[in-house]
Amino acid sequence: MTDTELIRLLGGSTVVAKRLGLQGLNGARRVNNWKRRGIPAKVKLEHPWLNPSTKASDGRLTNAQVKRAKAMFEELAHG
């Protein structure tokens, strides 16, 4: 799974931006740009739910990693 697919799975640019504390339309635009450029390494390091530890041989996230990221995201969203 690519960063684009991960952002979509987690609810889209606006939802991910809010979860990261990025305010307003500019925050959503910033996350949306990551669909083309990839999520910056610094952001992945600061937010483990965006940083699966390993990827499949083609660089995409595995299904298990996606489930783990989504579970971590839900846990953060609900306190």
Report phi then psi at 8, rounded to 5. Answer: -65, -45
Q: Mean pLDDT across the chain, nearest whole number?
A: 84
Q: For residues 5-15, b (16+ Cβ closer than 10 Å) or e, as one string?
A: ebbebbeebbb
The CA-based angle 33-4-18, given to 5 degrees, is: 65
pLDDT at res. 53: 57
pLDDT at res. 65: 74
Would you say how long the chain is, in residues? 79
pLDDT at res. 79: 59
pLDDT > 60? residue 55: no
Domain boundaries, the chain: 3-77
